[in-house]
Amino acid sequence: MNRRTHAAVIGALAQVPPITLADVLNEAALQVRVDRKYLVPIGAFVELVNRLSGRFAVLEIDGQRMFRYESVYFDTPSYGLYRQHVQRRRHRYKVRTRSYLDSGECSFEVKLKGNRSETIKARLPYPVADRSRLTGDAQAFLAEQLLAAYGIDSHDTLRPALTTTYRRSTLTDPVAHERLTCDVGLRFFDATAAVDVLPDTVLVESKTAGRAGAADRVLRDLQVRPVQVSKYCVAAALLKPGLRSNPWHRTVRRFTDFAGPRRG
C-alpha cells in the first residue's frame, strides 16, 4: 500500500468520532441498498471526510479504524458469472467468501441485482478455514437464494476464480441510515498472477436505502462522479486479458496502476 495514502486516510479518520460495530449493525446494516461507487483522489477524500465529520462516525474496534479484508470469488470455469455482468443480464449475481482477517471471522455471501437495480446481499456465517471452497451448506444456501430471487436453480460448477485483498474503513450516519466504505491498498490475484491497483486513490462506496445521500452530494460538489466498477469484474479483466471487458475499459485505463500482472 502507498504509505502516503495510508497516512492521509488515517489522519482524516482521526478527526471523526467513533462508533461501535454493534451500533453499525443495528442502525445501518443496509442489506438491501443502492450502491454508488467512486474513485476518489486522496486530496478529495480528505475533504470529503472533513465535510462529513459532523454527522458521520467511523467504525472503531479495539482502537483500530482500518481493517484487513480478503474476498475469494467463485465462478464457473468459463467465467459465466463474470459474463453475466459484462452482458448486463437482469438476473446476475456474485458469489464469494469474505474474511475479516483481523478478527478471524468469515461469511459466505451472495450478491444479487434486484429488479430496481438495488443490491441484495444474503450472508451465511462461514468457517474461515473453508474460505477458498464451497461447502455443502454454501451450495444449498446459494440454491435457496437463487430460487427465491430469480426462480432458478443453480446447477453450474463453481470454483475459486480470484482473490481480492484491501484495507477498509467504514463511515456511517446512524440517523439517516447511510454508510460509506473506503478501501485502499487493493490487490487482485489468482493462482498465476497478481496486480496492485489504485495507489493514490480511495475506492469509496456509498450505500443508501435509495436516493443519493450526504456523501454523494459532497462528492458531486468536489466534482467526483460515480463510476461503474466492480472489484471482481475489474480484477477478472486485469488477470484474464482474454475475457471481454468492454464496460470497464475506461475505468481500468484511467484509474489503475497496471503494466501487466506479475507472474509467479
Give me the domains of the chain, ranges plus CATH numbers. Answer: 3-263 (2.40.320.10)
- Mean per-residue pLDDT for 68-93? 92
Q: Which residue in 156, 162, 133, 132 sits closest to 84, CA to CA?
A: 156
Indicate whether 206 pLDDT > 60: yes
Torsion of CA 72, 125, 78, 192, to 10 degrees: 20
- Mean per-residue pLDDT for 98-107? 96
**Cα–Cα dist 209/32, whole Å:** 7
Indicate whether 32 pLDDT > 60: no
**Cα–Cα dist 119/116, whole Å:** 9
- Mean per-residue pLDDT for 149-159? 83
Q: Which residue in 150, 166, 69, 168 sits closest to 110, CA to CA?
A: 150
Indicate whether 9 pLDDT > 60: yes
The pTM of the full predicted model, rounded to 2 decimals, is 0.89
Question: What pLDDT digit, counting tens, does each position of 109-150 carry?
Answer: 999 887 666 678 899 999 999 999 999 999 999 999 999 988
- Mean per-residue pLDDT for 17-45? 82
What is residue 133's DSSP assignment? S
Indicate whether 200 pLDDT > 70: yes
What pLDDT score was predicted for residue 259?
A: 44
